[in-house]
Amino acid sequence: MTCNLPSYLVGSPFGALFKQSTSPPLPSAWNHGDSSVFIQVGKNRLRAKYIGAGRDDTEAAAIRTYFPIPQECGLYYYEVEIINKGVGG
């Protein structure tokens, strides 16, 4: 199995996990085929944008990555940056 480790994880504990030939891939990009119609995925698949009107709770949206978090990780860390709160906040 081929693994693509993001460059910012090379020196991390995850980097050591990836050196093992049997290690599963880490989630490192959004899956544009597995998301709500209200989510637009950027060309590099690192940015997801909510494009619904956001006026009621019937427009909930979700998105997944191409790979789940492997159990071998034990602990997984990620960050999210909210760029714009939208009209309704």
pLDDT of residue 80: 80
* Residues 15 and 5: beta-carbon distance below 8 Å: yes
Q: Percentage of the chain surpassing pLDDT 90?
A: 15
Averaged pLDDT, 73-83: 78
Structure tokens at 45: 């698949």
Q: pLDDT tens digit string along 45-71?
A: 988 988 887 666 667 889 999 888 887
pTM score over 0.85: no
* Residues 18 and 6: beta-carbon distance below 8 Å: no
Which residues are 85's β-sheet partners?
A: none
| Residue 5: pLDDT over 90 | no
pLDDT of residue 64: 93
| Residue 20: pLDDT over 70 | no
Which helix H or strand E contains 61, and what residues bound it? none
